[in-house]
Structure 1
Amino acid sequence: MYNVVSKKKMIQLLGAGLLAFSLAACGDDEGQKEEGSTSKTEESSSKETQQETKSKTLKDAMGNEVVIPANPKRIIATYLEDNLVALGIKPVAQWSVSDGAEVQGYLQNELEGIPTIPYDLPFESVQKMEPDLIIMDSATMVEGGKYEQYNKIAPTYVIGKEVNNDWRDELTRVGEVFGKEEEAQKALKDYDEKAKEAKVTLEEKVGNPSVAAVWLVGGKFFIVSDNLSSGAVMYGDLGLKEPNVVKEISAKATGNWSEISLEKLVELDAEHLFLVNSDDSTGSKALSDKLWKSVPAVKAGNVHEFSPNESWLYTGAIANGQIIDNVLKSLVK
C-alpha cells in the first residue's frame, strides 16, 4: 500500500451498470396479433416493474443520485477491495502500482487471478474493463470533471468526501450499495469482538507496552499516525500505549504515514517496534546505520519485521484483523 504523507489513498473505484433485459418476440400468427399486442403491453409494464425492483437509487457522498443495479457483475472499486472481500464480492480489476507489479498482497488468496488496474484509474483502462458499476473511495478521486467521465463509462458511486474515510463507515456504505447490510454489520461485529478479546489477552500477558509502526521504503522511514491505519488498531482498538514521538508527529500529520528522520527515531520511546520493510530486496541499508541501532526498541531487540505484502499499510475489517493477529504473535510469547 502506498498511504504516504497526504495519503495517496490510491483511488478506489467500483464499476456498476444497469442490467439489460430482452423482450420476448411477438407471435407471427395473424389470429394472435391482438392478443400478442396486449401481451406485449403487459410485458413492457412487467419489464419496467422488473427494472424498478432490480435496481435502486442511492445518494452518494457528493449528492449524486446513482442508479445501482441489483446484481452488478463487473465491479471496479480499487483500494476498497478489503470491503469487497469482507462481503464475499470479487471485483473485475484490483488496485495496483508500479505497472501492476505491486498489489495488496494480504488479499491475494481471495483476489488471485484478478487483473490489475493502475491506482489512478486512467479512463481508458477503466473502459477496457467494461465495468457495470464503479465505486470511488473519496471525492478527491473524481475532482476536475472526472466524475462525469467515469459516470459515462458506468454508474459511479462516491463513498466519502474525505481522503481518509472511517473504514467502518466505508464498509457500511459498500454493504448498502450491494444490499449486503447484514453481512457488513456482521463483519463489524466480528472484528470488534476480535479486538476486544485481543485487548484482554494483551493486558493479561504483557500489560500495556508502548509500541509504534514504522515503514522503511526507498531508504526513508515513515511512521503511522495514531488514528489511521495500523495506528488506529494499536492505540484505539487494542489500547496499547502511544509513544510521545508518535503523538507529536500525528498532531501535524496529513495522512496515514509521515516521514521521520533517523535522528527523530532515536527519540522514539517505544518498547516494541513493528517494522514494515519494503527495502528488503535492495539490502535495507538504512538498517545498518548507527542511528538506527541506537533506537531504544532496536537496542532492546524488540523489532518485529514484516513485509509490505502483509496488511500493516492498509485498513479495513480484514487488514485490521490481520494486524491484530500479528501484534499478538509478536508480543505474546
Structure 2
Amino acid sequence: MLKKSKFVKVLAYLTLLLAVFLTACGNSSKENSTRTLTDSMDHKVSVPTHPKRVVGSYLEDYLVAVGVKPAVQWSVKNGSGTQEYLKKDLKKVPLIDYSLPYESVTKAKPDLILMGTDSAVANGKYNQYKKIAPTYVVKNGNNVSWRAQFLDVAKVVNKTDKAKKVLKKYDKKVKSARSELEESAPNKSVAVLWVTNNSAFIVSDKSASGSLLYGDLRLKEPDLVKQVSKKATADWSAVSLEKLAKLDADYIFLVNSDKGASMFKDPIWQNISAVKNDNLFQYGDDSSWQYKGPIAYTEMIDNVLKDITH
C-alpha cells in the first residue's frame, strides 16, 4: 500500500510538471507567433502577433488610444518639443528624435517599427529599418483619413476590437458636441492659426484640426481656408498678414508658439474680425491642436465647447 501511495504521488508530480511545461510552451509559442500583413507600400511584413516594444514615431496618439505604450516617443529639438498632451500616458517613455536615427531605433530594441509616411522610408531607409525589426508603413497620404490610419495601426498591433470601441465612443461625443454647437453657435465659422517665428500658418480643411472642425463638427469654413486648402501640400500653409485681414471667421483658435511676435501689434492683425471682437482663443505648444488622433480630437472638442458655447 505504501509503495502504491508513493507511486501515485510521483505520478501526480510528473503530471503537474508536464502541465507546467506545456503551458510554458504554449505561452512561448503565443508570444513568438507572427502574422504576415501587407503595408501601404506593398511590403509583406511578418509582424509579431503580440508586439511588446513598438516604435511608432508621431503615431503615439493611436497607440495609446488602444492601450499600447510605445517603446519611445517622438520629439524635436533635442527633446524640447514633445506631444505634451500625452505626457501622462507617456510618462517615463524615452524620447527619440523625429528623424528616427538608426542607432537610436536599434537602442530602443523594438520588435515592431511603424512608419507614418512613405517618405520616412525613402532612399533605401526601409531596408535599413527592417534589419532592426519588422517595419510596417501605415496608410498615409492626402486622401487617407485619420480614422483609416488609426484602424491600420490598430490592426498591426492586434487591437482592432479596441479601436472600434474607441471610435464608437468618439463618434458619440462628436454627435453630442455637434448638437450643442448647432444650438449655441448656429452657422458660426471658425479658423485655426499657428504663429511661430513671427509667421502665420493656417490649417488645411482636411488635415489635423481642420478635419475635426469642418468634417466631424461641421462648423462653417471661412472662404480664406477654402482658398488655402485647395493648394495645400501639408497640414499647415503659410499665410500673409494681408490675406489674414480678409479672414471672415467668427472664431479663431490660435496655436501660439511665439507670444512676443511683432505681428500681434500690427494694426492689420488687430483689425481681423475675430481678434477685434475678442473671439480669439489661444493655446500653447503643450496643447493637442497641432496633432491628430482620438485623444487629441477629444481634447479639442472640449476646448471648442468651452470657448464657443460657454
Q: TM-score, normalised by structure 1?
A: 0.83
Instruction: Measure, in 1, the Cα distance between the counterparts of 2:154 and 2:280.
Output: 38
Please tell me whether the aligned partners of residues 202 and 208 of structure 1 are also in contact (alpha carbons under 8 angstroms): no
| 1:160 alignment partner in structure 2 | 139
1:313 maps to 2:275: no
Task: Verify: 1:230 aligned to 2:205, yes or no.
Answer: no
Range that drifts further, 186-195 or 145-154: 186-195
**Secondary structure at the residue paired with 1:193?**
helix
Instruction: Give yes or no for the alignment of 1:107 onto 2:107.
Output: no
Residue 257 of structure 1 aligns with an amino acid whose one-letter code is: W
Distance 1:251 1:91 in 2: 35
1:128/1:243 Cα in 2 relative to 1: closer, same or farther (>3 Å)?
A: same
What is the deviation of 1:50?
2.8
SS at match of 1:50: helix
- Tell me, in whole angstroms, the C-alpha distance in 2 between the residues paired with 1:137 and 1:167: 11
1:145-173 CA distances to partner (integer Å, 9 max, x unpaired)? 10000000011011025267421011111
Does 2:301 align with 1:324? Answer: yes
Contact 2:193/2:203 (CA < 8 Å) preserved in 1?
A: yes
Query: Structure 1 residue 285: deviation in Å?
Result: 2.6
In 1, distance between residues paired with 2:272 and 2:143? 30
Q: Does 1:122 align with 2:109?
A: no
Equivalent pairs counted in the alignment come to 289
Deviations 1:10-63 (A, max 9, x none): xxxxxxxxxxxxxxxxxxxxxxxxxxxxx9xxx9xx78x936982211111111
C-alpha separation between the residues in 2 aligned to 1:163 and 1:132?
Answer: 29
Residue deviations 1:83-130 (CA, integer Å, cap 9, x gap) = 011001111110000111110111111012211111011111111111
SS across alignment from 1:310: coil
SS in structure 2 of the partner of residue 213 of structure 1: strand
Find the residue that maps to 1:247 and give its secondary structure.
helix
Q: Between the two proteins, what is the percent identity of the paired residues?
A: 47
Structure 2 distance, partners of 1:70, 1:199, is 38
Deviation larger for 177-186 or 65-74: 65-74
**Secondary structure, aligned partner of 1:117:** strand
SS state at 1:184 partner: helix
- Cα separation, 1, equivalents of 2:31 and 2:184: 56
Structure 1: 5+ residue stretches without partners: 1-38
Question: 1:55–1:67: 8 Å Cα contact kept in structure 2?
Answer: yes
- The corresponding residue for 2:44 is 65
Aligned match for 2:175, one of 176, 179, 196: 196
Give secondary structure in 1 for the equivalent of 2:82: coil
Aligned counterparts of 2:299 and 2:268: Cα–Cα separation in 1: 31
Question: Are the equivalent residues in 2 in contact too, given 1:94–1:116 (CA < 8 A)?
Answer: yes
Helix, strand or coil at the partner of 1:171: helix
- The equivalent residue for 1:258 is 237
The alignment partner of 2:109 has SS state of coil
Aligned residue identity for 1:272: Y
TM-score, structure 2 length as denominator? Answer: 0.89
2:251 aligned partner: 272
Match of 1:221? 200
Q: Is 1:94 aligned with 2:73?
A: yes
The letter of the residue matching 1:300 is N
Say if 2:209 and 2:291, in contact at 8 Å, map to a contact too: yes
Separation (CA, whole Å) in 1 of partners of 2:110 and 2:143: 25
Distance change (3 Å), C-alpha of 1:134 and 1:164: farther
Is 1:79 the counterpart of 2:42? The answer is no
Q: Which sections of structure 2, spanning at least 5 residues, go unmatched?
A: 1-17
SS at structure 2 position matched to 1:109: coil
Q: Which residue of 134, 152, 175 corresponds with 2:154?
A: 175
**Which residue identity does 1:302 align to in structure 2?**
N
Equivalents in 2 of 1:73, 1:316: separation in Å? 22
**C-alpha spacing 1:191/1:127, structure 2 compared with 1 (3 Å):** same
Say whether the 8 Å CA contact 2:50–2:158 is kept in structure 1.
no
- State whether residues 31 and 49 of structure 2, in contact with CA within 8 Å, keep that contact through their aligned partners in structure 1: no
4+ residue runs over 3 A deviation: none
**RMSD over aligned Cα, in angstroms?**
2.1
